[in-house]
Amino acid sequence: MLSMLRQTMPDFELVVVDDGSTDETPEILRKLSRLDARIIVRRTAHLGLVSALNTGLEYCSGELVARMDADDISHRFRLAEQVEFLDTHPEISVCGSLVRIFPRKNLLGGMIRYEQWLNSLVNPEEIARDIFVESPVVHPSVMLRRSELVELGGYRDAHWVEDYDLWLRFHLSGKRIAKVPRTLLFWRHTADRVTMTDPRCSVEAFLRAKAHYLGIMLRSIGRPVVLWGAGQTGRRLLKHLMREGVAPEAVVDIDPKKIGGRLRGVPVVAPDWLVGKFVFVVAAVSSLGARELIRERLREMGFAESRDFLCAA
């Protein structure tokens, strides 16, 4: 079940799209809509999340649209704080928030690190800097400007998750994403959630999404591209970049066994090869702590992040 906020003055309406539920959901929604006329129910055949999102968008006539999943919990002031944020920051297109994953019991270290990383990205510059690392905004936490979402074509049914696809489209169109610096969404994590089971959420699918939009960006910068990382992540990203028509001039790695060899026909070189080169570097090493070490090394060589390099892992 999907819910979106449709603004009216002085109140709001809640548009609920029932994507072909086969349980008690339709009857529950009918009862709720009879009790509160602001609840608008739209029942469709089971066509999937992207279709449900776009159906909900069709019924949202106001300027602001808020995303929410049925099994998560929003802070009671979430919508009010996000409306205020967007009202006072007209340059921001997408407003998220900090999140807290629950239940905490048996929560693995990878998810805790992901939560910490998500909550470290608040202002537009931080989010733009790391947008190719992973999806930097939790979809059920966002409020968007409807006109801009429609202008970008709404949600797309790509071969990867629809929210990351949308953030990358916002980013490449020059629009800005930010967060209210408060925990306004409690994000439920279970072993069988879509994020853990849907092939569109796999590492390979994320790499395809990154390569697709990196390809669009890299083809426009007018200088040679270098990939940093000949490990598993770098090899996989290289494959997808080449399929997108981007052939790096070199692959950088620190492993002496790889330096001097070739990866998909591309020479593997040591980091010092970059000194004095007018190239754009895409760093794709996913081992813990590697991203900051690569950033530090590139800065020492005079590369500026976003202008001369970005991290994609």
Band of residue 61 on the pLDDT scale cut at 50, 70, 90: confident
Which fold would CATH assign to domain 2-198? Spore Coat Polysaccharide Biosynthesis Protein SpsA; Chain A (3.90.550)
Interacting residues of 73 by C-beta distance below 8 A, sequence separation 6+: 102, 185, 186, 188
Q: CA-to-CA distance for 119 and 127, rounded, in angstroms? A: 10
| pLDDT value at 178 more than 60 | yes
**The one-letter amino acid at 195:** T
Question: Rounded CA gap, 178 and 231, in Å?
Answer: 32
pLDDT at residue number 201:
74
The residues, any chain, with a CB within 8 Å of residue 283's CB and separated by 6 or more, are 228, 229, 291, 294, 295, 298, 309, 310, 311, 312, 313
Does residue 219 contact residue 241 with C-beta atoms inside 8 Å?
Answer: no
Taking a C-beta distance cutoff of 8 angstroms, is the pair 94, 142 a contact? yes
* pLDDT of 59 higher than 90: no
Asked whether the predicted pLDDT for residue 8 surpasses 50, the reply is no
Model confidence at 194: pLDDT above 70: no
pLDDT higher than 80, residue 127: yes
> Does residue 95 contact residue 182 with C-beta atoms inside 8 Å?
no
Domain boundaries, the chain: 2-198, 203-311
Nearest to 49 by CA among 161, 151, 149: 161
DSSP designation for 93: E
Confidence class of residue 9 from pLDDT cuts 50, 70 and 90?
very low
Q: Which residue has the tokens 């797309």?
A: 156
108-112, 138-142, 223-227, 249-253, range with the lowest pLDDT:
108-112
Geometric angle at alpha carbon 184, from 12 and 159, rounded to 5°: 85
Q: What is the pLDDT of residue 78?
A: 97
Comparing CA positions, the residue from 269, 221, 263 lying closest to residue 242 is 263
User: For the chain, how far is it from start to end, CA to CA, in angstroms?
Assistant: 32
Whether the predicted pLDDT of 174 surpasses 80: yes
Identify which of 5-14, 195-204, 304-313 has the greatest average pLDDT.
Answer: 304-313
Structure confidence at residue 211 (pLDDT) = 98
Q: What angle do CA 7, 55, 201 make, to 5 degrees?
A: 105
Q: How far is CA 266 from CA 182, 235, 260, 310, in A?
A: 45, 11, 10, 20
- Could you give the dihedral angle defined by the CA atoms of residues 42, 198, 131 and 134, in that order, rounded to the nearest 10 degrees? 140
pLDDT at 193 over 70: no
Assigned CATH class of 203-311: alpha beta
Q: What is the pLDDT of residues 196-226, one digit of tens each?
A: 567 777 999 999 999 999 999 999 999 999 9
The reported pLDDT for the residue numbered 5 is 47
**DSSP-assigned letters across all residues of 19-39:** ES--SSHHHHHHHHHHH-TTE
- Is beta strand 250-252 parallel, antiparallel or unpaired with respect to 143-145? unpaired
Query: What secondary structure does DSSP assign to 251-309, as a single string?
Result: EE---TTTTTSEETTEEEE-GGGGTT---EEEE---STTHHHHHHHHHHHTTPPBTTTE
Average pLDDT over residues 234-243: 98
Confidence of residue 11 (pLDDT cuts 50, 70, 90): low
For 243-268, write each residue's pLDDT tens digit. 999 999 999 999 999 999 999 999 99
Distance CA 251, CA 258 (A): 10
